[in-house]
Amino acid sequence: MNRPIRGRRRAGRWCLAVMSVVTAALAAGCASSSSDESAPNSASSSASTIPVGVLHSLSGTMAISEVSVKDSELLAIDEINKAGGVLGKKLKPVIEDGASDWPTFAEKAQKLISVNKVATTFGGWTSASRKAMLPVFERNKALLYYPVQYEGLEASPYIFYTGATTNQQIIPGLEYLKKEGHTKLFLVGSDYVFPRTANKEIKAWAKANGVEILGEEYTPLGHTEYSTVINKIKQAKPDAVFNTLNGASNVAFFKQLKAAGITAKDMPVLSVSVAEEEVRGIGASNLAGHLVAWNYYQTTPGAKNKAFVAAYKKRYGADRVTADPIEAGYVGVHLWALAAEKAGSTDPEKVKAASKGLQYDAPEGKVTVDASNQHISKTARIGVIKPDGQIQRAPPAPRGARTGSSRSGRTSRRPARDRPRDGRSRACTCRPARPPGRGRPRRTDTPARSSRSRCTHPAAAPPSDARCGSAHPWGRHQDSLRWCSACRRRT
């Protein structure tokens, strides 16, 4: 009886071994299913290559914006490889499609980390996609370079944010509208986390600065019927519209806005997710004269940007354009490469340490990685869309222009020395504090090392007129509100 049993056991072990080999072969096949511009993906770095993830929506409603960001990241990878690579190895892009679906972004991020063994990932656009990926990268202690402007209120230890936060884009946009006399606004946005959170901050700023919000409307991503929203805008009669729509919805909105007889001269729309690439899809004739708020345009002066634009057009075609998120994606790749070289390793913890205070001469100008919150310094630029589809920077505010209000409600002049000398501002990632007259603000965003005597918010830079004796983000908390939530005092 024992012999047959032993035989069956040996046969069973043989079968298990065969199954293991087959499973390994299938896994290897799955690992090479992603697309790569030049060669099939590998599950780990070879002796001469380092795999890096590129994760964007290449299909769905967000493809209109994200495909070009993917292209700029591949351009940066190619430039780095031609210059000798990183640590003597060539970078090998592993490209995945988030398909404009947030769970898919999380799934693909996990695959890049665990199957493809990437050293880092460059990707995302919407805040919903970033929020879906954040726990994946934090759980695996892997790095994500996120290239798009967003609502702030976040500082993950495993994400580098190369786009703007609200104090680097939206608040300057609001200040420009107010300076131009547009004090009655209508808010239009896509129905997800970025527009809703950004509009909360816009309403808080408006209340503190004498600007009236006449209406607020949201539509799903990919929505294409805007007649009802446009009718509400016409009935409200605002001075301007503040637009946080994303993706293909902008095409329908601006075409229908023009068809309704509303022009930029009658009622300018200031957008924060429409750049040169979106202008190509929407049509310059539908956008001419409207406003945008970004940190970079294709027309930004400088030798570095001239070289970047030329390289992008040479690789992808003379009809292609560069834009803020495209440039931010390009910058993220170069920042990671510089940090890895400085660290002498692609280990995420060593790259993070090497990134503190790292500077890079970017097409938008010199940028610096904040040592505490992994955002980068930015120059706010308000732009006007021209009939040829290009965006020209709007004239800056006159010297000594009235830009804010004091505690007493009177308009006050902000001293020029409060702004960093190079015009760049650090990212503010904290939650808006309560305005005066509503009690002490809750300490919901205080860093662990903060004390009541000093605000140690990572974006802090001491202004010359701080009345509580503490360091605050440039100007004031969120550039406008009167409370510092860390020290609980009025500024």
Read off the pLDDT of residues 87-116 as tens digits, 9 standing for 90 and up: 999 999 999 999 999 999 999 999 999 999
Q: What is the predicted pLDDT for the residue at 426?
A: 67
Task: Tell me the C-alpha distance between 15 and 143, whole Å.
Answer: 40
Q: What is the pLDDT of residue 128?
A: 95
pLDDT band at residue 397 under the 50/70/90 scheme: low
User: pLDDT category, 40, cuts 50, 70, 90?
Assistant: very low
Among the residue ranges 24-38, 46-60, 221-235, 398-412, the one predicted with the least confidence is 398-412
Cβ atoms of 345 and 351 within 8 Å: the answer is: yes
pLDDT confidence of residue 425: 62
pLDDT confidence of 23, banded at 50, 70, 90? very low
Confidence check: pLDDT of 333 > 70: yes
What is the rounded distance in angstroms from the CA atom of residue 353 to the CA atom of residue 97?
30
pLDDT at 28: 42
Question: Is the per-residue pLDDT at 449 higher than 60?
Answer: no
In contact, 230 and 252? CB cutoff 8 Å: no
In this prediction, residue 46 carries a pLDDT of 57
Spell out the residues 6+ positions from residue 269 whose beta carbon is closer than 8 angstroms to its own.
Answer: 240, 241, 242, 243, 254, 257, 290, 291
pLDDT band at 214 (very low <50, low <70, confident <90, very high): very high
Please give the pLDDT value at position 443. Answer: 33
> What pLDDT is recorded for position 432?
46
pLDDT reading at 138 higher than 90: yes
Domains of the chain: 49-165+311-368 (3.40.50.2300), 167-294 (3.40.50.2300), 402-491 (no CATH)
If one compares 132 and 41, the residue with the highest pLDDT of the two is 132
Higher local confidence (pLDDT), 430 or 354:
354
pLDDT of residue 395: 78
* Of the ranges 34-38, 356-360, 391-395, the best mean pLDDT one: 356-360
C-beta separation of 231 from 217 below 8 A? no
- Give the pLDDT score at 165: 93
Q: What percent of the chain has pLDDT over 70?
A: 71
The confidence score (pLDDT) of residue 455 equals: 34
Q: Which pLDDT score, from 0 to 100, does residue 51 have?
A: 98
Question: What number is the average pLDDT over the span 381-409?
Answer: 67
| Residue from 270, 381, 280, 252 nearest 324 by CA | 381
pLDDT band at residue 423 under the 50/70/90 scheme: very low
Banded pLDDT at 74 (limits 50, 70, 90) = very high
The model's confidence at residue 47, banded by pLDDT at 50, 70 and 90, is confident
| Overall average pLDDT of the 24-37 stretch | 42
> Residue 78: which of 90, 94, 96 has the closest Cα?
90
Residues 6+ apart with CB under 8 A from 465: 415, 418
Listed residue (91, 159, 93) closest to 129, CA to CA: 159
Find residue 411's DSSP bridge partners: 405
> How would you write the chain as a 3-class SS string?
CHHHHHHHHHHHHHHHHHHHHHHHHHHHHHHCCCECCCCCCCCCCCCCEEEEEEEECCCCCCHHHHHHHHHHHHHHHHHHHHCCCECCEEEEEEEEECCCCHHHHHHHHHHHHHCCCCCCEEECCCHHHHHHHHHHHHHHCCCEEECCCCCCCCCCCCEEECCCCHHHCHHHHHHHHHHCCCCEEEEEEECCHHHHHHHHHHHHHHHHCCCEEEEEEEECCCCCCCHHHHHHHHHHCCCEEEEECCCCHHHHHHHHHHHCCCCCCCCCEEECCCCHHHHHHHCHHHHCCCEEEECCCCCCCCHHHHHHHHHHHHHHCCCCCCCHHHHHHHHHHHHHHHHHHHHCCCCHHHHHHHHCCCEEEECCEEEEECCCCCEECECCEEEEECCCCCEEECCCCCCCCCCEECCCCCEECCCHHHCCCCCCECCCCCCCCCCCCCCCCCCCCCCCCCECCECCCCCCCCCCCCCCCCCCCCCCHHHCCCEECCCCEEC
Confidence at residue 424, expressed as pLDDT on a 0 to 100 scale: 59
Dihedral-angle region of residue 438 (phi above 0 means left; psi in -120 to 50 means alpha; beta otherwise):
alpha
Give per-residue pLDDT as tens, 456-481. 333 333 332 222 333 333 333 333 33
- Residue 155: pLDDT band with limits 50, 70, 90: very high
Of 84-93, 299-308, 390-399, 421-430, which gets the smallest average pLDDT? 421-430
Q: pTM of the prediction?
A: 0.75
User: Is residue 291 predicted with pLDDT exceeding 80?
Assistant: yes
At 143, the amino acid letter reads: L
